[in-house]
Structure 1
């Protein structure tokens, strides 16, 4: 797929899983039948070294996969919008159909393509998801994560991949936790909460506290991310994204 403006994935710091995701979550606001993780998340023990290594490799594993199918339920103004499409992690771009439910898309079914800086929309899309984005008919604008949970979601989905592993030793002391075991589409997974603070350049000082347990990762035994969830902004509802393998 060809993004609106192709950009090379940035060289992320070793603590990238904290800096990229937590920065997005602190600037933005799917519910499901049960909480995304067990209620014991805040009292779960710290990660072991093998668990930290598994979590540290997750975004790099996604990058090596190159692409994935995604279905995401996005909280929008008290309701849920559903995004269904493809992520091109190697090139930092996405193509998906959004069943709009409030926000800048109002209502309807729309085709979206995006990269890390812009999103383009074809409103009232009636066809299936195309193999390649159409050449014409797009309305393009800059992503605005401070005002839109949809835009925040688009960036979060791209930032689930990185061209190098995160630092497992730093994750050991980041507040990340293993909170249980579940199954996603019949596949056993380990459930982790993400880091609870961002430490620029991996240093011990200057941490920007973000609150514990705002991200969730469902990772299988091969290190593949099967599901991702995030509590956006100060809201209580959760983005929930399920990824194919």
Structure 2
């Protein structure tokens, strides 16, 4: 019986053949492993140089990796050595201004004037004496409106409004140290006129802000000591930095606290863009106090001065016929009401800030009120105006508010003193309010200023120059007086607000004959 030859290497099994393992041969796995070893042995015999080539390939890879490691180490060492010995390029040395730069710096103040307004953020001083301020400046009015904070703010912490002549503050000792953007429409209450003796840092900052404006360029000849220092960027705006020994302000600048000449190497620095707009300023205020000021023209809303500073400016014009008729008919309409309650705020020329309340009887020509000086709140003054003059007395302050109405009946045990109506702002204001129920102002001396609101009632504000004084009448559409304002000797405005309410009987006060003066 013939047998089939055993297939050699590379021989494919016949289609009918089957793997022994499939047929269930128990030695199939052993024979398969043996055939694998035999095949490997035969391949090695056919290519005796395969192991050598594999070894040479491994050595080449090892050599290449070692070379790359050496290159990386050398590069890192060179980089470290370069960083240790690198120095930045020295800044360009300061130099004299070109003609174009001098003209641009000379135009900074007139550019501020033409732009009108700017937002600002300022820091005055260092450490525990630092004062910070956020707000706006209006160079056309001019007016500064700030929220003042910082550890050195002291009694000025709170809201501040200032003109070249007056400073109005609304103190808030409980406010946080860091100032915020002040409310665009300022609160109407608790403002008082302040004198800032000793020129504190806030006063010097206000002077600086108001001095940064002029209606014409500064003389280029005054910039002879100015130097170009560097190029910089404020926000995204490229600027040139200029150094000056003195601020570019005219000799008649309203800044009474303008710093004296500092050393040339520690002068004022201005960050000015190509359009002559000032973006940043650093300087030394009196006493070598440093100040940094940043200006922002992206948000510059119209500002609203508080009542003590005159309120909104308006557009003055002559009265129309209907407005003149309402002004001349005002006394009759006031008398028809009989009387009214009142509150008042009087920034007096003596530095006092009076607040008060009371009643006014137009038919009987009597006013009875109580006033308190906010800076001396331990005493209240009771005052009664009538046809015979004025009577006053002082009483201790209880728990009344500064604008509380006086007691009724008037205290009989008080030491009343009678005299003539004096020239002070309080007597002038109350006397003018009583006269508003007796005789009309002269319409030929009147000017319509603006429309406004007294509470929620629309009014016309009409200014009348009566001899040495200016009075403003706030008339509603029927011609009734709702507010009377008087310009005081310091240039501030006192207000007497009339609130329609029942007026009680206002009895005379017990004045001894010996006290009449």
TM-score, normalised by the number of residues in structure 1: 0.69
1:225 and 2:275 equivalent?
Answer: no
Residue deviations 1:57-76 (CA, integer Å, cap 9, x gap)? 00100000000000001116
| CA 128–193 in structure 1, closer or farther in 2 if over 3 Å, else same | closer
Q: Is the 8 A contact 2:218 2:248 kept in 1?
A: no
Over residues 200-236 of structure 1, what are the superposed CA-to-partner deviations in whole Å (9 max), with x where a residue is unaligned? 97xxxxxx8542242111011111111111112242x
Question: Per-residue deviation at 1:86?
Answer: 0.7
Other structure's SS at 2:95 match: coil
Which stretch shows the higher mean deviation, 208-217 or 77-86? Answer: 208-217
* Deviations 1:150-208 (CA, angstroms, capped at 9, x unpaired): 1101110111111111112332x2x111100111112111001124499997xxxxxx8
Q: Residues of 2 paired with 1:232 and 1:47: CA distance?
A: 25
For 2:213 and 2:123, the matched residues in 1 are separated by 19
CA distance in 2: counterparts of 1:100 and 1:199, whole angstroms: 28
- Answer with 47-56 or 115-124: which moved more: 115-124
Q: Distance in 2 between matches of 1:82 and 1:178?
A: 29
Does structure 2 retain, via aligned residues, the 8 Å contact 1:71–1:83?
Answer: yes
| Alignment of structure 1 residues 34-53 onto 2, 5 Å | 44-53=94-103
> Equivalent residue for 1:188?
238
Q: Find the aligned partners of 1:223 and 1:198 in 2 and give their Cα distance.
A: 13
Per the alignment, residue 156 of structure 1 pairs with 208
Partner of 2:130, secondary structure, is strand
Alpha-carbon distance in structure 2 between the residues aligned to 1:56 and 1:179: 16
Residue 197 and residue 210 in structure 1: after superposition, are their counterparts in 2 closer, same or farther (change >3 A)? farther
For 1:87-126, list aligned pairs within 5 A. 87-102=137-152, 104-105=154-155, 109-124=157-172
Structure 1 residue 99 displacement after superposition: 1.0
What is the Cα deviation at residue 95 of structure 1? 0.6
Query: In structure 2, the residue corresponding to 1:133 is in which secondary structure?
Result: coil
Structure 2, unaligned runs of 5 or more:
1-89, 252-259, 298-517
Query: Structure 1 residue aligned with 2:193, among 140, 149, 165?
Result: 140
| Alpha-carbon distance between aligned partners in 2 of 1:198 and 1:224, rounded to the nearest angstrom | 14
Q: How far apart in 1 are the matches of 2:95 and 2:131?
A: 35
Judged with a 3 Å threshold, the aligned counterparts in structure 2 of structure 1 residues 76 and 123 are, in CA distance, closer, same or farther, namely farther
| More deviation, 70-79/218-227 | 70-79
Q: Which has the higher relative contact order, 1 or 2, with Cα contacts under 8 A spaced 6 or more apart?
A: 1
User: What is the alpha-carbon distance in structure 2 between the residues aligned to residue 167 and residue 95 of structure 1?
Assistant: 30
Gaps of 5+ in 1: 1-38, 202-207
TM-score by length of 2: 0.34
Measured in 2, the distance between the counterparts of 1:199 and 1:138 equals 31
1:215 to 249, 255, 268: 268
Larger Rg over CA atoms: 2
RMSD of the TM alignment (CA)? 3.0
Listed one character per residue, the Cα deviations across residues 127-147 of structure 1 (whole Å, up to 9, x for unaligned) are 962223333311212344x53
